[in-house]
Every structure is written in structure tokens, then in C-alpha cells.
Structure 1
Amino acid sequence: MDDDVRFTRALMSMTDAARHLGVPQQTFHRWARGYPRGGPLLHISATDSIRQASVPFIALAEAWVLEGLRQAGVRPQRIRPALEKLQREFGREYVLVSPALVTDGISVLWDFSRTEAGAGLIEGRSGQTVIREIVQDYLTYVGFGSDNLPNRLKLKVFEPSAVAIDPYRSSGQPVFVDSGARVANVAAMLKAGEEPAIVAEEHGIGIEAVRAAARVLLGRAA
């Protein structure tokens, strides 16, 4: 993994990563830093400041799947021992982004939650089938390469506009799928006071895509 940009190139700060994934910032920071009972849940690069880029592509994909598990009723603050068990079962480090998570992995999590060590891992309202369905839906946003590791991530928070991150294109920055325009460049023009229609024409995108960039990155309407 030492020469694979999916793991080595930091694409954005934790705050920006949370924004692009639609995950609460505090939640993302806890996942990246770890909980009192365990270490980090994501593979984040070390930096001197939280404002620096520290989140590589693989951590974005991990966080997206972890958010799916959270939405399904799995408690991330209790998941570290379960992830270690999954790593032993699957024989791989990046178990959150394993295609097998939704099948064998969910069963392992479910069985582990029924043990003393896994008590409290899964909320009482959640059933195994529900967890599997929600995580499967989240995994539809992840593209996998021939090595069974993620190589593309669609960003749901921008929908209905299609935005994706490809670690091998545009330096791994989020782009509008149809035009290839960087979302950050669109937002920068809006922030500078340019009219949305002009921004749309400049980047070859529709006005709805411009509005999506403003909503997600600037926190306002365009």
C-alpha cells in the first residue's frame, strides 16, 4: 500500500471530509481520533493541525460505510473489538471496506454483539436483516477495483447532482461526473460573488449542480 495513492495521498481535512460525506463533524473527528476504549476507526494520516489535509481516499470510504453502520443501529463507540475480530476473520486490515462486510461481516458483527465482549454494540431496535439492507445501500456508492478495495466513491450529499471522488483523477478531488469540473472550483466562484448562471456556463454544469455545490460547501443557497 506504500505507493498506492488511495492510502497515501491526503485529500482533505477532517472537517471537509465530514462535510462531503454528510457526517456530523464531531462524529467524524471521534472516528478519526478514537474512543476511550479503543484507537481510531479510520486510517487517517498524521498532521500537526486538524485544518491540514489528513484524510486519504481509503478513510473517506471507511467513514462512509461506518456511517451506514451507524444509521443501521451499530454503535461506533463500541465497534473496535468487533473490527479486530473481523480483521482476524477476513485476514485483511481494511475490513470496513471489504465487499464481504455486507454478507459474512454483518453476521460476525451480529454474533459478536450477543457475547459479553460485544454487549451494547447494536441497538435493540435493529435486526440483522435491517443492518444488512442499510449497509448494502451505502455500499452501492462505493466502486471496487480488481483488488477488492475501493477505487471510487459517489457522494450522496450532492444528489440529485452526480459527484464522485476518484483517487486517480483530478488529484482525488470531488468532481461533477458529467463535466469533470471540480466542486471546490464551482464553490470558489460562488464565494467570490459570481452569478450562479455564469458559474454553470463556465464549468459546463447545470444550475442544480451549482446549487448543490453552494449547499454542501458553502452552507447556503445559490
Structure 2
Amino acid sequence: MTEDVRFSRPLMTMADAARHLGIPQQTFHRWARGYPRGGPLIHVADSDSIRQATVPFIAMAEAWVLEGLRKAGVRPTRIRPALNQLQREFGREYVLVSQSLATDGISVLWDFARTEAGAGLIEGGSGQVVMREIVQDYLKYVGFGADDYPNYLALKPFEPSKVAIDPYRSSGQPVFFGTGVRVANVAAMLKAGEEAAVVAEEHGIGIDAVRAAARVLLGRAA
């Protein structure tokens, strides 16, 4: 698995990954580095610097689905033993990005939460059907290859503009769908003080796409 760029090639820092996914940076960092009672929940590379790219494509997909589970009422601080259980059930390490997670996986999590080991995993008001629906919605943004592992990730925070990551194209950097224009290049021009209309013309994209890059990556309007 280590020779596959989806798993082995870091694409961005944890801060940048969090911005692209619309996840609080502190939350993403906890998922990547682990909690006091458990290890990391997503697969990132080790680094001595927070400015170094450590997040491969597979970790982006994992974090996106983990965010779906969090929205559905699963407590990430309690999920490590549950992931171990899912790994045993599915027989694979990267269980967060299994296509079966929204069906069989939710049932496993639900049953595990009713055991002593899984106490506190799921918030009291959550229901199994609603959890499944939320996770299925998040998985709609993930494309899967013939090996059943993700090979495409659409980035919801940029909507209605369409931005996606294909680990085999543009060195795995997020691009505007159908153009190949890197979102980071658009944001860089804006950050340098260029007018939005000029940036749009330079890259051959719509003004709404430019505004999406500013909103998500720069945290401001363009």
C-alpha cells in the first residue's frame, strides 16, 4: 500500500487540509495525532514541523468521513476501540473509507456502543437510521476505485463551485472541476492583492469560483 500515491504522498499540511474540508484545525490535529486514551484516527505522516506537508489523499478522505460520523453523533474521543472493532469485522485497516461503513459499519458501531467497552461512543439523541443517512451523504463526495479504496474526493466547502482532489492528477492538488486550475494558485493571486475579476480572467474560470477560493482558503470575500 505504501507505493500507492493515495497513501504515501503527502499533499498538504494539516492546517490546509482542515481548511479544504471545512473542519476546525484543532479538531483535525487531534484526529491526526490522537487523544490521551487512544492513538490517531487518520493516517498522516510524521513530521517535526507543522508547516510540512503530512496529509496524504487517504487521510483527507478519512477525515471527511470521520466528520460525517461526528455530525451523526459519534464521539471521536471514544471511537478508537470502535475502529479496532470495525477493522476486525471488515478485515482492513482503512475502515473509515470503506464503502460498507454507511451500512454494515453503522450497525457495528451501534451494537458496539451498547457494550461496556463502547459506552459513551454515540450521543444519546442519535438514531441508527439518521446516522446511516448522514454518513451515506458524506460518502457521496467520495469516489472509489476498482480496489474499493477512494480515488476521488469532492470538496463540499467550495460548493456551489465544484472542486475535487484526484490523487493521480495535478499532483493530487485540489482543482476546479473541468478546468484543471489549482485552487491554491487562485488563492495565491488573491492574497497578493489581485482583483477577483483579473484572477478569473487569468485562469479562465468564473468569478464565483474565485470567490469560493477566497472564502474557503483565505477566510474572506473576494
Cross-structure match for 2:167: 167
Matching of residue 3 in structure 1 with residue 26 in structure 2: no
Q: Deviations over 1:13-62 (max 9, x none)?
A: 00001000000111000000101111000000011111110000000000
Classify the secondary structure of the residue corresponding to 1:11: strand
Instruction: Could you tell me which runs of 5 or more consecutive residues in structure 2 were left unpaired when the two chains were aligned.
Output: none
1:155 corresponds in structure 2 to 155
**What is the correspondence of 1:110-125 to structure 2 with a 5 Å cutoff?**
110-125=110-125
Q: Distance in 1 between matches of 2:195 and 2:19?
A: 23
* Equivalence for 1:21: 21
Indicate the residue corresponding to 1:206 in structure 2.
Answer: 206
Count of residues in Structure 1 that have an aligned counterpart in Structure 2: 222
Letter of the structure 2 residue corresponding to residue 217 of structure 1: L
Deviations 1:149-205 (A, max 9, x none): 000000000000000000000000000002110000001111111111111111111
Q: Which residue of 1 aligns with 2:184?
A: 184
Quick one: distance in 2 between partners of 1:70 and 1:216? 21
Instruction: Give the structure-1-normalised TM-score.
Output: 0.99
**2 CA distance for matches of 1:172 and 1:188?**
18
Deviation at 1:145, TM superposition (A): 0.2
The match for 1:78 is 78
Give, as a single letter, the amino acid of the residue that structure 2 aligns with 1:16: D
Structure 1: how far apart are the matches of 2:59 and 2:178? Answer: 25
- Residue 100 of structure 1 corresponds to 100
2:193 partner letter? G
Name the Cα RMSD after superposition.
0.5
Residues of 1 paired with 2:58 and 2:83: CA distance?
A: 16
Percent of paired sites with the same residue? 82
Cα distance per residue 1:97-135 (max 9 Å; x no partner): 000001100000000000000000000110000000000
